[in-house]
Amino acid sequence: MEYLDDDGVLSHGFRFRPSWWTPRAPEGWGGFLEQLPAQERGYHRIAREDLLAAATDRGLPQALLAGYVWGTGNSAFLVGRRARVFRYKDAQRFDDSLHAVAETLRSGNAVEAYTSMLRGQSQNLKHLGASFFTKFLYAASRPGAATASPMR
């Protein structure tokens, strides 16, 4: 079996349309999606490296959104269900929760960070399950991930 090198892993990505996501996310979160590489017919491309860069270059809420975009890929029919997490559009609650989790992660408590996001726990966000919050944890654990918040 042949394995991808680091560049192959980081370049793994999907086509999507920013218009699938920006109306569903809190105001201002999705602007960076339009800046990702454009393709034909209104599509853009998001790669794993874009998901990881969102945490350092954009902010933690944008890293969560990038995780949803990357994790959903080019399956437009899944967007409505997956974007339920953004339905309540309480941007401050998202920001506070994501920064608390990232702080826990940076202090070396990965298990505690993971556990805090589970249903019924202090940092749980409704409709955000492990399949997507683990993508967020992956991005937030990178050196240089955002510590300051545009909301604070």
Q: Which pLDDT value is given to residue 147?
A: 60
Q: Are 117 and 101 in contact (CB under 8 A)?
A: yes
Stretch 60-87: mean pLDDT: 95
Buried b vs exposed e over 82-99: b needs ≥16 C-beta within 10 Å?
Answer: bbebbeeeebeebbebbb
pLDDT > 90: percent of the chain: 82
Question: Considering the entire predicted model, what is its pTM?
Answer: 0.91
pLDDT > 70: percent of the chain: 95
pLDDT band, residue 142 (cuts 50/70/90): confident
For residue 137, pLDDT over 70 is answered with yes
For residue 77, pLDDT over 80 is answered with yes
For residue 110, pLDDT over 60 is answered with yes
Q: What is the pLDDT of residues 4-51, one digit of tens each?
A: 898 999 999 999 999 999 999 998 899 999 999 999 999 999 999 999
Residue 128 DSSP SS3 = coil
Stretch 70-96: mean pLDDT: 91
pLDDT band, residue 150 (cuts 50/70/90): very low
For residue 129, pLDDT over 50 is answered with yes
For residue 88, pLDDT over 90 is answered with no
Q: Are 46 and 71 in contact (CB under 8 A)?
A: no
CA angle 104, 130, 21 (to 5 degrees): 100
Structure-token match 């990232």, residue found? 102
Residue 97 DSSP SS3 = helix
